[in-house]
A and B are shown apart, each in its own frame.
Chain A
Amino acid sequence: MAKLRYAEALNRALREEMQRDPLVFLFGEDIGSYGGVFKVTRGLMDEFGAARVRDTPISEQTLTAMAVSAAMAGSRPVLEIMYADFMPLTLDALINQASIYEYIWADQVRMPFVLRTQGGGGAGAGAQHSKSLDSLVAHIPGLKAVAPATPWDAYGLLKSAIRDPGPVIFLEHKLLYNMRDEVPDGEETVPLGRARLVREGTDVSIIASSRMVHESLLAADRLAGEGIAAEVVDLRSLRPLDLDTLLGSVARTHHAVVVNEGWRFCGYAAEVSATLMDHAFDDLDAPVARVTMPDLPIPYSEPLERAVLPGPDEIVAAVRRTVA
């Protein structure tokens, strides 16, 4: 099994899917000759040509609507939006178009497009280049949203996303691109809508996605030292939510802490928390706790940015409160 960086795993998935299906094409800002600002698409323009790997003008609103209609017209676009912070520019196409037409036009349309973007703090990139806007896209019915935490999942989920018959928002994390880990050699995909039990435990379920999975694992290590056995669940898919895995975990531990890098108010963690209350109330021995960004713009200053990003300290504290 090869060890690849998260960015390389994504690159391999794109390459293989383009080789497999001539309908798949990529477009986005500086993805071609520049290879993408995070180098995810490096080398693909050379290999597949400028018609299949297209550099675009800076026009996110139009590009997203074009992905919607190009998908309806029978191709399989994969659009890169350079930063999740630019997602607000894409939202009309996602909310008013992508999420609706398959439903109201019934069997006439399919919308197999993927919108890849990356978010997250920790790079000193400031308030307009650091956000995690999971809830913004997971909020929209009709769309799927995935957020891989490892190179393996980055690879396997991207392949599934491209093959999916509907729109998928693919959320990468800028601090994970250099993470190196195992990726399967074969044509293995990771199904959409399935969480992964990353670490087993008996006392509390820490439910996270993307980079927060790694922070949760650090917290679980620390908690083990205090005699608290934490289970860590990596959601992988933000929508649809893998309810079975979540409920199974909570049935074992009776406590849950949801960790998400986005804002708290109306945030993604709030949704998971409410879902657990809906379905697992009888299993829970304590209210579900949330660990999130505070409701603030992300500051540039390094110590201030560190202070707002959820990490092991905040997760450990939330677990202690929950199991106390």
Chain B
Amino acid sequence: MATSAKGAAQRKSGSASQKASASKSRGSKKSPSGPPDLSRDEELTAYREMLLVRRFEEKAGQMYGMGLIGGFCHLYIGQEAVVAGMQMVAKEGDQVITAYRDHGHMLATGMDPKGVMAELTGRRGGYSKGKGGSMHMFSVEKGFYGGHGIVGASVPLGTGLAFANRYRGNDNVSFTYFGDGAANQGQVYESFNIAKLWSLPVVYVIENNKYGMGTSIDRASATTDLSQRGRSFDIPGEQVDGMDVRAVKAIGEKAAKHARDGKGPYILEMLTYRYRGHSMSDPAKYRSRDEVQKMRQERDPIEQSKARLVSDHKVSEDELKEIDKEIRAIVNEAAEFAQTDPEPDPSELWTDVVREREAS
């Protein structure tokens, strides 16, 4: 292919610089130059998006505690900058696919908070009419392809979305998210090989929040620099400070361009952290309170963005309060809807079914 020589050269320089940025992003969170600043509008957009996810998740947590949400509920609190930053580089027609920690992704793709919350409470107005629950929602309109409970499954599925983009000849990109734990599933590497072999437009976004359930990454992974997991396939990869929405956006832009330009897949390892347990039923005894506190106090993506809004963009306390108020109103409205919307009618069981003649 015509692009292959150029691609190889790019990959080389990519992996050289990523080494440097990897060690930097591990040590101090900022590389010396720091990620490029966002414009005032961009920073405000990112802030709103992250705050919406945070408040939505806090509300979902409360509602779970009140017994309004059952089964599983995996909160995204702490990881907001990842999806907020990545959505800033997505364009119409791009796809997003992830695992079960999916509420943030849905909100960021523009899905209606009411429909998401109502799915959590299993109501008619939920995105899956109450049949899916927290882990299983979908919106073709917004390019959100789920919501998957089988760890690792989002990766080949996301690769297939890219396959369709390539086949149909559009310039859309599949943003395929998965966790540090999922990164050890075999199908991830089958996907990497195929995506590279066929130059598929996919950006693999590994959300490394340091734990897969109760197992820390170093207890599950022989190598913990997950950005380098595509190396033997010659897929460029970078570690990104996933707590800094500016860094996510900047590197996301580069990766998306690479994929859109027909140069094939790109791997972004987002160094992030989940503040809550794996799911609502996990007391998270496998890590110290200090570890969590330190992250919240020193690295919180929303606090960082807020500080920049105040100091760099001279956004006033009143304006921030106003935003907070707006977002609380959106979330409250979603929660209200999710509690008053009726449960699905029993007849709903038999809609959307490929139904054979009933056996006697």
A residues lining the B interface (CB < 8 Å): 29-30, 33-34, 37, 55-59, 61-62, 85-86, 89, 123-129, 264-265, 294-297, 299-304, 307-308
C-alpha spacing A124/B215, complex, angstroms: 25
- B-chain residues with CB within 8 Å of residue A37 when the two chains form the complex: 213
- B-chain residues with CB within 8 Å of residue A124 when the two chains form the complex: 70-72, 122, 133
Q: Evaluate contact between A304 and B348: CB separation under 8 angstroms.
A: yes
Which of chain A's residues has its CB closest to B285's CB? Answer: A34
Instruction: Check if B262 is an interface residue, CB within 8 A of chain A.
Output: no
Interface membership of chain B positions 329-348, coded 1 if the CB is closer than 8 angstroms to chain A and 0 otherwise:
00000000000000110101
* CB contact under 8 A between A58 and B71, given known A300-B122, A300-B133, A303-B343: no
* CB contact under 8 A between A126 and B135, given known A30-B215, A304-B349: yes
Which of chain A's residues has its CB closest to B220's CB? Answer: A57
Interface-centre pick from B122, B348, B356, B359 (highest chain A CB count, 10 A): B122
Q: Evaluate contact between B220 and A58: CB separation under 8 angstroms.
A: yes
Q: Evaluate contact between B185 and A301: CB separation under 8 angstroms.
A: no
* CB contact under 8 A between A126 and B72, given known A30-B215, A301-B130, A308-B349: yes
Which of chain B's residues has its CB closest to A292's CB? Answer: B359
Q: Evaluate contact between B151 and A301: CB separation under 8 angstroms.
A: no
Instruction: Check if B286 is an interface residue, CB within 8 A of chain A.
Output: yes
Q: Give the size category of B's interface with A.
A: 35 or more
How far is the CB of A313 from the nearest CB of chain B, in Å? 13
Nearest 3 pairs of A and B residues by beta carbon: A300-B133, A124-B71, A124-B70
17 contacts between A and B (CB under 8 A): A30-B215, A34-B215, A57-B181, A58-B151, A59-B184, A86-B150, A125-B71, A126-B134, A128-B136, A128-B148, A129-B71, A296-B353, A300-B70, A300-B128, A300-B134, A303-B343, A304-B348
Q: Evaluate contact between A58 and B181: CB separation under 8 angstroms.
A: yes
Cβ-neighbour of B136 out of A30, A86, A123, A300 (below 8 A): A300
- B-chain residues with CB within 8 Å of residue A128 when the two chains form the complex: 135-136, 148-150
- A-chain residues with CB within 8 Å of residue B220 when the two chains form the complex: 55-58
Q: Evaluate contact between B185 and A59: CB separation under 8 angstroms.
A: yes
C-alpha spacing A304/B151, complex, angstroms: 25
Instruction: Check if B14 is an interface residue, CB within 8 A of chain A.
Output: no
Q: Evaluate contact between B213 and A34: CB separation under 8 angstroms.
A: yes
